[in-house]
């Protein structure tokens, strides 16, 4: 279990201090909004240099501790081009995704239908550090 997901308050602090941990973040509009006593939603966008953006949507459940990410969608963009996205929508009939079910990543060339396992995504630890690291790798590649 990640300390960031110990309580909903811990995750809120984690979200609002991301730019302190990752200096490549230029701006963040992430907000955590509680929806009753056991549910919260996280939504917003993190911007980086060279037009890179990470769009974040998470649903959190915290009726019992620790907090769990119940579902998510993450999109990585550069300017107006969607480079990939991650989601937790189950595809039980796709045998290629069973190793990380339901976590998967959509990639080109047919981004809507081309899915690969997403070993770095989880429901019980924050996914954002992995995603920020992925964007940082793209920024490094774009400088070459």
Q: Are 47 and 105 in contact (CB under 8 A)?
A: no
What confidence score (pLDDT) does residue 94 get?
86
Q: How far is CA 42 from CA 8, 10, 30, in A?
A: 11, 13, 7
Position 108 scores a pLDDT of 95
- Which regions in the chain score pLDDT beneath 70? 1-2
pTM (two decimals):
0.94
What is the pLDDT, as a whole number, of residue 142? 86
pLDDT value, residue 1:
44
CB burial of residue 118 (10 Å; 0-12, 13-18, 19+): buried
The CA-to-CA distance between both ends of the chain, in Å, stands at: 37
What are the CA-CA distances from residue 66 to residues 11, 51, 106, 113, 141 (Å)? 10, 35, 29, 33, 37
- Residue 120: Cβ-neighbour burial (10 angstroms; 0-12, 13-18, 19+): middle
């Amino acid at each position: 279990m990640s300390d960031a997901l110990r309580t909903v308050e811990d995750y809120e602090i984690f979200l609002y201090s991301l730019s302190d941990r990752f200096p490549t973040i230029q701006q963040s509009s992430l907000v955590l909004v509680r929806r009753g006593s056991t549910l919260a939603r996280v939504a917003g966008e993190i911007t980086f240099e060279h037009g890179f953006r990470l769009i974040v949507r998470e649903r959190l459940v915290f009726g019992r501790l620790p907090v769990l990410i119940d579902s998510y969608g993450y999109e990585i963009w550069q300017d107006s081009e969607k480079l990939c996205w991650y989601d937790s929508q189950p595809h039980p009939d796709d045998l290629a995704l069973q190793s990380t079910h339901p976590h998967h990543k959509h990639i080109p060339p047919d981004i809507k239908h081309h899915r690969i396992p997403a070993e770095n995504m989880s429901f019980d630890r924050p996914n954002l550090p992995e995603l920020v690291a992925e964007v940082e790798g793209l920024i490094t590649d774009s400088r070459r």
